[in-house]
Structure 1
Amino acid sequence: MKFSSKLIRWYEKHGRKDLPWQIDKTPYKVWISEIMLQQTQVVTVIPFYSAFINRFPNIQELATSSEEEVMSFWSGLGYYSRARNIYKTAQILQKKFESKLPSSLSQLISLPGIGPSTAGAILSLGYKKRAPILDANVKRVLARYKKIEGDLSKALNIKTLWRISESLTPEEKVDLYNQAIMDLGALVCTKSSPKCRICPVSRDCIAFNKKLIQVLPRKKLTKQKPFKTVFWLVVMNKNGKVLLKKRNNLGVWKGLWSFLESENIQALGKECLTMFKKRKKDLKTYPDINHSFSHLNLNAKLFLLKLNEDINYNINKGKYVWVDKKGLKALGIPTPVKNIFEVLKLNDQTS
């Protein structure tokens, strides 16, 4: 029996069939779910996906919304460039493709944020057209099955894996096959605890037969992440609302809303004096906040400033906003900032 036939038969008995994006499946739902699932676990994605699709049920609704609103529904999911690319693509689709995802590989990969594997998923799962895929789960399955050694992020190995994926993708039932190989990687051929005894293709798996399962794929040499310290000023007015500032279009949180940020305590003190006529002695210190990104570790020194005076501070309304906890839902907010509202009990009758 062929590799693809074994996987399809296994999937029909054991595969996942009740994930939100598998119900009333459309190319649009496949696209959104595939983008959300990049570097993010299924259990994390499910509530975000459900809320997103409920608000943006189709490309037309997505394209006619604002980027700010799209970011608010992505808030907490991370890797925010994904949301920005989704919004850009929706607008292109509205203008050039009658608010529909194209059904050709070349047109799909020309769109922001859609690479060959995402395009393959849209074509196969959404349109039932033959197209190979190569997400993280598929890479692991194929690297073990064909014993591909070396760093899988290297161009030569990626090219080899694509060639293997193409050769194994069947002409028929391609939607079932691609879902099957993704599920096999997620449920059986896992990264740390592979269940080879129940794998439908272990008999022909080179890594299994050569007892190399635990060492393949080879672990990529990781560099130590740099460490960055910032100083955050949490400003609360007498009504209990907190001041947030829209970040510039640089960095991982570009365009999101955060607290006033300085690189050192002196700069923070200067900003406090300039904007609010307050000094460092007026600030209350809180324990540090630590957050790990894929590329760096962030340490935030946290200071709270309560304003009791009824003063009309000179604040640019397009760049700053006073917000309570309920108002956070309408803004794109990084997870650490959301968490600080809980840590400091902001807007909860703080004394």
Structure 2
Amino acid sequence: MSRQANRATAATAGQPRKRRATRATPCPPVSTCDASNVIPERLLEWFDRHGRHDLPWQHPRTPYRVWLSEVMLQQTQVSVVIDYFNRFVTALPDLPALAAAPQDQVLALWSGLGYYTRARHLHTAAKLCMERHAGELPRDIDALLALPGIGRSTAGAILSQSWNDPAPILDGNVKRVLCRVFGIAGWPGTPAVEKQLWTIAETLLPRERPADWTQAQMDLGATVCTHANPDCKACPLREACVARAKGRTSELPAPRAAKPLPLREAHMLILRDGDGRVLLERRPPVGLWASLWSLPEQPDLEQSRRWYHRHFQSGFDHAQPLQPLLHGFSHYKLKIQPLVIAVNVERAVIADNGQLRWTTPAELSGLGLPAPVRKLLQEPKA
């Protein structure tokens, strides 16, 4: 991401520079190619011409903005993250602001990105930085790794892009590129393959322009060496690529062994009072959608009925079912059956408290809601 060949501090990282015209030189076949020199040279030349230089977290580039973008980009594409990033930094522009924010605000800003543990870890890490590091991200690999939600690759990306410190990364894009270029067999998530990839990533790390090198690797995997239909003709490493030479680009990296996803079912109650407010229930602090506000949920119709009658005197028999909603997670699929009920009589137990609250439509945008719940509440019939 850097604009300078030898940027020493983050203060100058976001400053634009004049790009020098560079001339690509042919790379000999991998058998005679000095990978540790040629691959960084070729990739950085390509990056100067074709890399992404105008992402919002690059201007200005601060440790906080780099960290936030890296956490958001875990398991999420850049095109999706940009709007969330801009909205997040507008509301919480720096680390102290994030640390001081209530959890509901953080989760609301994150709502829709999924993997909400990332947001909770981000919030907790900001508070720890206030306690341990004077309100700043530490410029130390071990101190970064001690913060929740920051693994080795994320720490390397923070160090290289914030301070131009040489540090390897190994996100999904980089794993794919290295597996193809070096012909690494096996699923990259296994410890043995990952260890091999880390060794390669460390070997390739150039002495100069580590920030640009980090971004160049990610850009190549995201825009050229893609999961499906890689554009090998446009790849600066095509002559050194084992997968291309052996016709194995579709095979590498090896996929994880597929397992059929189990299907779970849940009933969600959309309860509205006479003022048009909807009843929300706080999720437990651990587990699925931890600490988010959601709709009252039970495994089946009968348990939903029992829950309803613990809080309301009548009305369940008039529940109107909506079209079921199927939502996918990494380990299973969830089939949600929504039931809409107009509530007229409220028991005292439903008064707003830490676990239940009546919420107006205008208040929904300020709360962290699971994506399928937000979708249900936006449906015209809901």
Normalising by structure 2, report the TM-score. Answer: 0.88
Displacement of 1:312 in angstroms is 5.2
Looking at structure 2, the residues matched to 10 and 51 of structure 1 have their Cα atoms a distance apart, in angstroms, of 31
Normalising by structure 1, report the TM-score. Answer: 0.96
Displacement of 1:250 in angstroms is 2.9
Tell me what 1:349 maps to: none
Does residue 284 (structure 1) correspond to residue 320 (structure 2)? The answer is yes
Tell me what 1:167 maps to: 203
Q: Which of 63, 84, 97 lines up with 1:48 in the alignment?
A: 84
Q: Which of 172, 184, 188 lines up with 1:136 in the alignment?
A: 172
Report the residue type matching 1:204 in the other structure: A
Displacement of 1:150 in angstroms is 0.7
Tell me what 2:26 maps to: none
Does residue 305 (structure 1) correspond to residue 341 (structure 2)? The answer is yes
Contact 2:312 2:347 in 1 (8 A): no
Displacement of 1:334 in angstroms is 0.4
Unaligned runs of 5+ in 1: 347-351
Question: Which aligned pairs between 1:320-331 and structure 2 lie closer than 5 A?
Answer: 320-331=356-367
Tell me what 1:211 maps to: 247
Looking at structure 2, the residues matched to 165 and 143 of structure 1 have their Cα atoms a distance apart, in angstroms, of 11
Contact 1:71 1:83 in 2 (8 A): yes
Q: Secondary structure at the residue paired with 1:243?
A: strand
Tell me what 2:349 maps to: 314
Tell me what 1:85 maps to: 121
Looking at structure 2, the residues matched to 107 and 250 of structure 1 have their Cα atoms a distance apart, in angstroms, of 25
Displacement of 1:313 in angstroms is 3.8
Question: Which aligned pairs between 1:6-155 and structure 2 lie closer than 5 A?
Answer: 6-155=42-191
Looking at structure 1, the residues matched to 380 and 272 of structure 2 have their Cα atoms a distance apart, in angstroms, of 11
Looking at structure 2, the residues matched to 345 and 171 of structure 1 have their Cα atoms a distance apart, in angstroms, of 60
Tell me what 1:238 maps to: 274
Q: Which of 232, 236, 239 lines up with 1:196 in the alignment?
A: 232
Displacement of 1:210 in angstroms is 1.1
Contact 2:315 2:343 in 1 (8 A): no
Looking at structure 2, the residues matched to 259 and 181 of structure 1 have their Cα atoms a distance apart, in angstroms, of 42
Tell me what 2:287 maps to: 251
Point out 4+ residue stretches in structure 1 off by more than 3 angstroms.
none
Looking at structure 1, the residues matched to 363 and 67 of structure 2 have their Cα atoms a distance apart, in angstroms, of 29
RMSD: 1.2
Displacement of 1:345 in angstroms is 4.6
Looking at structure 2, the residues matched to 111 and 280 of structure 1 have their Cα atoms a distance apart, in angstroms, of 47
Q: Percent identity?
A: 38
Looking at structure 1, the residues matched to 138 and 233 of structure 2 have their Cα atoms a distance apart, in angstroms, of 41
- CA deviation digits over 1:42-86, x for unaligned, max 9? 111111110101111111111111112111111111000000000
Looking at structure 2, the residues matched to 301 and 278 of structure 1 have their Cα atoms a distance apart, in angstroms, of 20
Contact 1:276 1:313 in 2 (8 A): no
